Chain A
Amino acid sequence: MGDLIMFGIQIGGVVILLGLGFGIGGYTERKHFKRLNAREIECKGVLVSTLSSHPYADPTQGSEMVIGECVIATDYFKSFVTKLKKVIGGELRAYLSLMDRSRREAVLRLVADAQAHGYDAVCNVRFVSADVGGSSSMKKGSAMVAIIASGTAYRRVAPATSAS
């Protein structure tokens, strides 16, 4: 009987965590995506490219490295669903949005860094996924992703001569 109660408590805990993950996790994710979309529209004026040359660069204005970082964790519900999905394999859609969110957030921070220093273009954007917690963070089953985006910020020449 005691075992049964313990089992019940454990199941109850998992269900509560699943509910929290699904509810709050889903809500924060939707909110984050909304904010990302809005901020990306705001940052339309900044030319972001992966070219290693400086397209339309104004040679008198100099350039500087800019960086954006972001660490995002997944929620309990998603890691639970993913554990089930791992049995059959295939694409893990729950983690796809996690990677997407942190990359976009990192790029937006990089662009914000560039704008704060008075630049209006960023080239040679690179992504590195960092391992903040070391390999231990993966053992707990809850995934988190840390992204460093780096690029070179510079000023463009007057838009009259550029095709953008």
Chain B
Amino acid sequence: MIVVNTETIPGREITAILGLVQGNTVRSKNVGRDIAAGFKNMVGGELKGYTQLLVESRRQSVERMIAQGNELGADAVVNVRFTTSAVTSGAAELYAYGTAVKLAAVESPAMTEMTGA
């Protein structure tokens, strides 16, 4: 599964658009991270626990999006976007969405030159 956030994939041709696929996750930070972040808030600097949380949520939501793409029989998900929203205090939603597409079979570079694509 190819996942890109551009509309096209270099060297590949999109043959069919299968529709919107999406994945989301709502995560809450835990108490341990909260305390550590509270201390960090005094002196400033990166909140590594929260960065980790963000990485995990993003991976989860992208995974769910890809799973939906697989269900549709997609070869790739293009034009992927992220958005977040605060659901309730202490929890945040991370939402990933994109367009599932079917791709033409891989052409050899020589073929691409001949067809002028």
User: Is residue A114 within 8 Å, beta carbon to beta carbon, of the partner chain?
Assistant: no
Chain B 62-99 interface mask (CB, 8 Å, partner A; 1/0): 00000000000000000011111111111110100000
Chain A 60-75 interface mask (CB, 8 Å, partner B; 1/0): 1111110101111111
User: Is residue A103 within 8 Å, beta carbon to beta carbon, of the partner chain?
Assistant: no
State in angstroms the CA–CA spacing of A34 and B61 once bound together.
Answer: 34
Contacts of B94 in A (CB 8 A): 130
Known: A70-B46, A72-B45. A132 touches B11 (CB 8 A): no
Q: Let me know if B10 and A54 touch, CB within 8 A.
A: yes
CB contacts between A and B, total, < 8 Å: 156
Chain B 47-64 interface mask (CB, 8 Å, partner A; 1/0): 110110111001000000
- Who on chain B is nearest to A105 by CB? B46
Q: Which B9-27 residues have a C-beta within 8 angstroms of A?
A: 9-12
State in angstroms the CA–CA spacing of A25 and B37 once bound together.
Answer: 14
State in angstroms the CA–CA spacing of A114 and B46 once bound together.
Answer: 22
- Who on chain B is nearest to A123 by CB? B6
Interface 9-residue window, one of A4-12, A40-48, A83-91, A138-146: A138-146
State in angstroms the CA–CA spacing of A131 and B92 once bound together.
Answer: 6
Q: Let me know if B42 and A20 touch, CB within 8 A.
A: yes
23 A-B residue pairings within 8 Å (CB atoms): A20-B43, A25-B45, A52-B6, A54-B8, A59-B12, A60-B11, A61-B10, A62-B9, A62-B10, A63-B2, A63-B9, A64-B4, A67-B58, A69-B58, A75-B42, A123-B6, A126-B82, A129-B84, A130-B92, A131-B84, A132-B54, A144-B37, A146-B54
